[in-house]
């Protein structure tokens, strides 16, 4: 069932790319590269959220980084 969700995300990604690609123009190579890279990153993150629905948030990342530093500064 999870693979069906990934296929759905892929279908939406392909439809979006086919719809937007002609609007980017011929001479805008940098825009096309940025569009593809951001789209692929979004597709990857969307696919990962299907398999791992409860990832840690950014505050937990900051806590993991600065908690040992805070303990060092308390001593």
Q: How far is residue 9's CA from residue 16's CA, in Å, rounded to a whole number?
A: 10
The pLDDT tens digits for 19-50 are 998 888 877 888 989 999 999 999 999 999 99
Q: What is the dihedral of CA 32, 33, 36, 42, to 10 degrees?
A: -130
Q: Give the residue with greater pLDDT, 7 vs 64.
A: 7
- Phi, psi (deg, nearest 5) at residue 26: -80, -40
Question: Which sequence spans correspond to the domains of the chain?
Answer: 2-74
- How many residues can be counted in the chain? 75
Tell me what pLDDT residue 55 has. 86
When pLDDT is cut at 50, 70 and 90, the band that residue 15 belongs to is very high
Whether the model clears a pTM of 0.75, i.e. scores above it, the answer is no
> Given phi > 0 = left and psi -120 to 50 = alpha, else beta, which region is 25?
left
Mean pLDDT over all residues of the chain? Answer: 89
Tell me what pLDDT residue 75 has. 66
């Amino acid at each position: 069932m999870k693979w069906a969700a990934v296929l759905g995300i892929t279908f939406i990604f392909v439809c979006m790319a086919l719809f937007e690609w002609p609007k980017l123009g011929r001479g805008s190579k940098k825009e096309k590269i940025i569009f593809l890279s951001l789209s692929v990153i979004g597709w990857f993150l969307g696919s990962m959220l299907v398999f791992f629905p409860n990832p840690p948030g950014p505050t937990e990342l900051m806590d993991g980084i600065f908690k040992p530093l805070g303990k060092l500064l308390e001593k």
